[in-house]
Amino acid sequence: HVQEGTRDWTTLYNVRNFNAISKLLETRPFVEPYSNVLPSMAYGEKSNPAYHTGPMFNPLHPKVEEAILGFVREIGERYGKYRAFKGISFNLFASSMPWFGSIHSGYDDTTIQLFKEETGIEVPVDAKDPERFSKRYQFLTYVCRPAWVSWRCRKIHGLFTRIRQALSSGRPDLRVTVTLWDETVIPNTLGPVSASHQIGARLSNYELYREAGIDLALYGDEPGLEVDLSMGNSRDRGGHGPNPAAGVNTPLAAASMFRDFEFLDAETLAAAHNHSKPGLFIFNCWVEAWGKHIWFKPDPEDPNLPTVSLMDGKPAEGVLRINSEYPKDGFWWDSQLRITPPFPAGPHFLEPYAHAVAELDACRITRGGLFLDKAHSEAMRGFASAYRSLPDVKFETVGSTTDPVAVRQLRHDGRLFFYIINRDFYPMPVDLKFTNDPGNIQDLATGETLSGASVWSVDLGPYELRSFSVSPEAAITEFTAIPPPEIVQALNVKAQEALSSISRVREMGKFIPGMDEIEERVRDALAEGRLALLRRLLSGYVVRKCQELCA
């Protein structure tokens, strides 16, 4: 059976297989139009499949690979002639084709035979046993899990390499980007967000994606094949679970997981930073709030009715409209499909951009979602101007810290380029020390020429990025960044309160997974003056849960 939970694929499947599907539908029981009974799913899908969703097709099957490569090659050859076309992004969610989606998929006959042939490891399960899939899973994940996971990652990497080669037939510089779409992968593979999903309770995203077939370490240096992390989504404010529009009333266990992993998942962030061209996808996630789902007959005078009443040249058997019904509020229209992207307020809209540059030295930033954002052009203008004027290669980090300010420099095309980025929401005065007087300094965002000095000062606003270039004879040797005293004091007070709460929880005999590690990281951040990290630690699930238990 095909899983209904794969989602988002049936329209394409219908178009590609219309004749076969139309014959299949002839065998389905007739359902009277406008009745309360909905037709059974056309392809034998299972609604809400057990445990979680999985891939639509086997990514290692030759027929599947042939179809994927043919599709990609056609796109490259058709659109490669247009300079605006830069490549293809594969946004990976649990049911995407080019990977396994989770450790629970990939136990089919074709994949297991390949594994045995290529590794020499026998899987002691009868090839005709109807229970062979679960038995293979038990053996491979218990006896030789490292070999199994590594082999899968190499096979998927090989597939993406061939995908990139197929695309480049249209133009050599076309890129394939593998986008790790946490917002869909995590709940679709691990279930509704709960305490079991938090930092310290589950695998890092790096390991979770490895189990699904994507090892970040394999993608670091291959030209034209890139991996983007995702972050910046507001899913912690709702969208999943029993109350998708809970907002600030979202239960604690579901209110910070995505954000915690975006800022605190050190293993994944380090793996991405090690890439020659790291990148970031900022997701404009949306929150959906649904009332009572209803089907109803359209008004006979509906102007759209003549168009939709004819399907493939034949009269439709019936036409239904759908809607969500809510209690009357005397304010809004009756027809309501409540879907909206909840953007961070004020300057915090730029937080994921600043995090991408400061943490990853990101060479590209992509943003998108169900809706195009039209409200933040002014907020984006300064950041985008500074960012896009920089060479799209990695820079060298100045000094021993990038928190709360990161400074990086690079000699490129006969100039010394450098940028300064503020990770946080408060203003930061920064003093740069050069080896010698750099002379004139060009502001890359505005084109303005500024007078330099051996010690040169810049004031950064919240989450602000500034980019400059100077003569290549100059170099930055060190910098100082002094945060506002009131911010330092407030964070110190909150840190001591957090440490006290963790200690009290330990005395209660309770154990919040990850609290020992978070306690150590809070102490280290305090000692090292890493205030941006400290703020994210103090607002994370572990600290807040300990404080809740002590309240």
**pLDDT tens digits, one per residue of 314-369:** 888 888 887 777 777 777 776 666 777 888 889 999 999 999 999 999 999 999 88
- Section 279-294 average pLDDT: 83
Q: What phi, psi does 180 have (nearest 5°)? A: -85, 105
User: Could you tell me if 420 and 459 are in contact, meaning their C-beta atoms sit under 8 angstroms apart?
Assistant: no
Encode pLDDT of 131-152 as tens digits: 999 999 999 999 999 999 999 9
8-state DSSP, 61 = S
Tokens of 272: 């991405």
What pLDDT was estimated at residue 42? Answer: 44
What pLDDT was estimated at residue 303? Answer: 92
What pLDDT was estimated at residue 265? Answer: 98
Distance, in Å, from the CA atom of 283 to the CA atom of 374, rounded to the nearest integer, reads 15
Distance, in Å, from the CA atom of 165 to the CA atom of 182, rounded to the nearest integer, reads 27
What pLDDT was estimated at residue 147? Answer: 98
Report the DSSP beta bridge partners of residue 92. 180
User: Residue 72's pLDDT band (boundaries 50, 70, 90)?
Assistant: very high
- Section 7-34 average pLDDT: 50
pLDDT > 70 fraction of the chain, expressed in percent and rounded: 87
* DSSP per residue, 247-292: GGGS-GGGSSHHHHHHHH-HHHHHHHHTSSS-EEEEEE--EEE--E
Which value, in Å, is the radius of gyration of the alpha carbons in the chain? 27
Whether 43 has a pLDDT exceeding 60, the answer reads: no
Window from 117-121, 268-272, 298-302, 355-359 with minimum mean pLDDT: 298-302
Helix (H) or strand (E) holding 66: helix 62-79
What pLDDT was estimated at residue 23? Answer: 60
Whether 167 has a pLDDT exceeding 70, the answer reads: yes
Pairing of strands 364-369, 279-284: parallel
What pLDDT was estimated at residue 20? Answer: 58
Burial class (CB in 10 A: 0-12, 13-18, 19+), 43: middle
Tokens of 157: 């990497």
Encode pLDDT of 182-235 as tens digits: 988 888 888 888 999 999 999 999 999 999 999 999 998 889 999 999 987 677
Q: Which residues fall within 8 angstroms of residue 314, CB to CB, at 6 or more apart?
A: none
User: Could you tell me if 504 and 550 are in contact, meaning their C-beta atoms sit under 8 angstroms apart?
Assistant: yes
Whether 251 has a pLDDT exceeding 50, the answer reads: yes
- Section 467-477 average pLDDT: 97
Burial class (CB in 10 A: 0-12, 13-18, 19+), 527: exposed
Distance, in Å, from the CA atom of 288 to the CA atom of 275, rounded to the nearest integer, reads 35
Q: Which residues fall within 8 angstroms of residue 99, CB to CB, at 6 or more apart?
A: 55, 59, 92, 156, 212, 213, 214
Pairing of strands 440-443, 449-451: antiparallel
Q: Which residues fall within 8 angstroms of residue 250, CB to CB, at 6 or more apart?
A: 236, 237, 238, 241, 243
Q: What phi, psi does 463 have (nearest 5°)? A: 55, 25
* Secondary structure (H, E, C), 451-512: ECCCEEEEEECCCCEEEEEECCCCCEEEEEECCCHHHHHHHHHHHHHHHHHHHHHHHCCCCC
Distance, in Å, from the CA atom of 496 to the CA atom of 508, rounded to the nearest integer, reads 18
Q: Between the CA of residue 202 and those of 50, 188, 196, 212, 243, what are the distances in Å?
A: 20, 15, 7, 15, 24
Window from 184-198, 394-408, 491-505 with minimum mean pLDDT: 184-198
Place of tokens 């139009």: 33
Indicate the angle between helix axes 515-528 and 485-507, nearest 10 degrees.
150
Whether 434 has a pLDDT exceeding 50, the answer reads: yes
More confident residue, 267 or 25: 267
Distance, in Å, from the CA atom of 118 to the CA atom of 130, rounded to the nearest integer, reads 24
More confident residue, 374 or 497: 497
Report the DSSP beta bridge partners of residue 301. none
Q: How many residues does the chain have?
A: 551
C-alpha angle with apex 358: 374 to 207, nearest 5 degrees? 95
pLDDT > 90 fraction of the chain, expressed in percent and rounded: 68
More confident residue, 267 or 328: 267
